[in-house]
A and B are shown apart, each in its own frame.
Chain A
């Protein structure tokens, strides 16, 4: 080719480097953005695949509710498609580390880990320390705060069954690791603690003490080294999942038989034990009873004897009393007789004294010699008296003797009576003693009887309990379900599927934005090349006149474009590959832990990225050259007739127009004079602004979901899953616990798939939601239309026109907005849905309710019963907590999960965490978008301003000659770009709203309806940033305007 032409091209670049760079930059921007973002997903996948293959991530994890036996493991190993099987122990435990008590998922590491071929799957990567070698050593989660040397202790709060599993309970951290089973910072959910696993903990097998394993991890031969994201892998896994589940049922037979046998043996033993115990107890009780009865007989005999003796004594008492009475009577008589005798004695004595006196008197008379007759008479008289006295004396003495005899006799009688009395008293004491003894014996007997009754009751109770236990055991055996295998694929690993959707999300985003960037690139190119061709009109004409052929002349421009296209493409692709995957990977590194990123250089995105720029520049050049090159040389030699100034619409409004300054008029006319430039700039600026708004809006929208869902729509922030239905109303404990934390209600939630008409057979994943008390649902969840916020009736009310139509007997349901969108269903439409095991049921949509998180079909218990023929089981409690702070929710969860019959409980905190992670991962993309948007705006505005200045150099020089000050001259140019910037911003904000919607649609995942909200502050930021770009360009161009020499005004045009 002609040397001079190359020189010409070189000069073209060096003389106006700004233009060259501007176009180059926009091509680089487009190419790098496209290639870069397109490479993110492949790179993420490549990295993940390498990591999965390198660590031999298990394809399946099999857990059984009755454990996995050695026989199961052996059977699995024998299967042809299975490459390796790793049996392991696992449990979710509460354990204490130096930072507090956390919920850990504990897994065992096989005994041999060093051997490459050993059955060691989902291998850990040590970041520090070594593998545990002893039963008391462990590996800690790299996401935890644990350090080597820390001690982690499994607390006593854990259930006994769990604690039984461990041989050791305190472990020393000897290494820190990350694991392919836990790529996400989410460690999964559990049924202990607050329902969320905090960290993993790996222990050697030796730390466990259990007869059988809990889990078997499987690596497939058939899927070995295969990309986990490939359809082939997914197909294999989907097929194998069924196979293993079927195999599980087969294996379950064996396990079932074993368990049954064991249980039967145990039951038989139990029965025997029971029987023995019962016999023994019966015998012992009978003995005791016999003893008691004998005692009773003895006692009765005793009492009889006692009563006889008592009678005897009573009789004797009576006799004694009679005797005593008689003796006393005799004594009285005797005493009277004694007194009588004493009186007689006294008479005798008196008489004696009288006689003695008579004798004395006689003697005296005798002496005195008184009449002897008289004396004789007296003597006779005295003799008679003496005789009489002697007789009386005798008589009295006889009586006295008689009395003395009687007294003696009586005294003997009295003595006898006294003796009898004494004897009686003794007898009475004896009797009392006997009575006391008898009473004691009786009391003893009563006690003994009570004791016996107690013992009997107790024995009976114990026996009854044993019997019930046996009965239960028997019933349990009767009801013994076959052990079930739970087959988990990698998708069930926490965060595993999120990784893929995160990667896909970026792909969706990159397409939209890149196409746009290339479009702007093409436009920028077009304006630039057009300007260039215009500038060189004379030269083209001259070359033509000199005899150069069209192709040769064009070659210069084509080469220029080619150079930019190739250079920009190559630089862009390289830059894109180097920058974007790394930046985004680093952002995701907050969420996922894996080996270092591996850059996947996929040919197609690179080619498209590179060629996209080339196509844009080439097309633009051909379009720009096309018209001018057709002209004759002579015509080209003449300066192009200046483009006529054109009136714009505004001029018709002369009131406004007249008051405008000339410089404003120029600006307005200029804006409309060059439509390409106008469009390019508007596109660029609007694109910048729209991208910014989209980027900021993505965060707003996802962030706002939680706020809308749990701040406005759902008042129930805690879901509690119960172990079984039926218990709920009787289970006062649950009701009390729930009541203590807030207002609650019971609902039935079941997996279901919904479809509409024949067109989507796959069915959309959703949940059936049946409130026990339909009228109360509105207390817990607001059912309302998003637009207009109109409340939706529940229980559903069929629209009148549907009621009258054929499907009048179909039940009405309210469905959530995302589901409605997926099904393309609106109120009045008929949809079908099926619970997991049922056939399809038809219902009429009566309302579409605003909802962001998960999809629901709300229906009444009556509808459910009529459709599925069974009462719904209200196994879920929804709770409006009294206190709704995150910490309060978690505290409430911890409290609720502890309750018996509560299977698990979740709160909105978990969902919030999940969404916050998504938002965080998008932050990096937002930054990338902001960077690209800024670059876009800068390049486009620079290009425009640059062309404007070059093109108007003469005009500006003239203005300078006319005496315009610098600022006035700058303003003359800048006003145009500022007006375009403002118009661009307005368009951009409008486009941004649309782009945001589109992007949200493409990044949305099926279980969420992302909000469509963009916060006002985001509008402000987008506007300010775009303005900033405009102003920055204006400022940077100021020196260039200053440099224009007014002398240039005198030169001829070209």
Chain B
């Protein structure tokens, strides 16, 4: 199923004229449907840029990005919004929950707007938060907030789950739980999960690992036997 997501010669350039900064230089890679993919690289390597472009919240300067046959680079603002609305689930490093909505409401926030949502309650059950459903984010721990955030992303029943350093703001144990949840989700629902991190340890649990360095794809590596979260350590 290779080619579900296909980056071809993607450039992302900031600034113009003489001083140009290339966030991405001729980046090309592919991800198959249902894969658990980890994009890894040091800070400033361009992995967030890849995620932004893939998530439809940023546009590339040139090149093409195919997601399930649709070329994001050719979409306008409106089409990108629709794409985000229906096809992408986002998990943020800082959870980005709406403080004034309860956990379930935060999930509903996403499910309300898309075509074929999952049941918010079921989703929260799935992330083992049924008992915290009516709590406000401020009443939840970081891990719990991140799980709400994941539930919110999952509830949209997206084709693509994009995770931006989901464990970055969490302690190791909580981080493990989150990664475990993501891995299981990927396995169980067949959702394509792309996770960016600077933590190379996490690569071991991915099916596909893409190394990014200075805006270029340094290496794409397939793990025949991805490890489960409790098998890895950092």
Contacts and interface: CB of A to CB of B under 8 A. Distances in A.
Contacts of A661: 112
A646 B138 CA distance: 10
B93 A961 contact: no
A673 B88 CA distance: 31
Given A666-B101, A962-B90, A962-B109, A1050 B52 contact: yes
Contacts of A644: 99, 136, 138-139
A957 B114 CA distance: 18
A641 to B, nearest CB: 7
Given A643-B138, A661-B112, A1047-B52, A955 B98 contact: yes
Interface in A661-719: 661-662, 665-666, 669-670, 673
Interface stretch (B79-87, B179-187, B198-206): B79-87
A559 interface: no
A965 interface: yes
Contacts of B136: 644-646
B144 interface: no
Interface residues of B, number: 38
Given A961-B84, A964-B81, A954 B96 contact: yes
Nearest to A1045: B57
B114 A963 contact: yes
Contacts of A1018: none
A1050 B164 contact: yes
B128 interface: no
B93 A662 contact: no
A34 to B, nearest CB: 38
B101 A962 contact: no
B88 A1050 contact: no
B81 A965 contact: yes
Contacts of A1045: 57
Nearest to B102: A645
Nearest to B78: A965
Interface in B148-196: 152, 156, 164
A642 B137 contact: yes
A666 to B, nearest CB: 5
B113 interface: yes
Contacts of A641: 138
Contacts of A643: 99, 138
A1052 interface: yes
A958 B139 contact: no
Nearest to A662: B109
Contacts of B58: 1047
Interface residues of A, number: 32
Nearest to A963: B85
B109 to A, nearest CB: 5
B144 to A, nearest CB: 14
B81 A958 contact: no
B94 interface: yes
B105 A662 contact: yes
A484 B98 CA distance: 89
A1053 interface: yes
Nearest to B57: A1046
Contacts of B110: 962
Given A643-B99, A645-B99, A673-B100, A1049 B113 contact: no
A284 B220 CA distance: 158
A18 to B, nearest CB: 23
B207 interface: no
Contacts of B82: 963
Interface in A644-664: 644-646, 661-662
A958 B88 contact: no
B99 A963 contact: no
Interface centre among A643, A958, A962 (most CB of B within 10 A): A962
Q: Which 10 A-B pairs have the closest CB atoms?
A: A963-B85, A645-B136, A963-B84, A1046-B57, A644-B138, A958-B96, A669-B100, A645-B100, A662-B109, A642-B138
Interface of B: 48, 51-52, 55, 57-58, 78, 81-86, 88, 90, 92-94, 96, 98-102, 105, 108-110, 112-114, 136-139, 152, 156, 164
21 contacts: A662-B108, A665-B105, A666-B101, A955-B99, A960-B84, A961-B92, A962-B84, A962-B85, A962-B109, A962-B152, A963-B82, A963-B83, A963-B84, A963-B113, A963-B114, A964-B113, A1045-B57, A1047-B52, A1049-B57, A1049-B96, A1053-B94
Given A642-B99, A955-B96, 20 more contacts: A645-B137, A645-B138, A661-B112, A662-B101, A662-B105, A666-B100, A669-B100, A961-B57, A961-B84, A961-B96, A962-B84, A962-B113, A963-B85, A963-B114, A963-B156, A965-B81, A965-B85, A966-B81, A1047-B52, A1049-B96
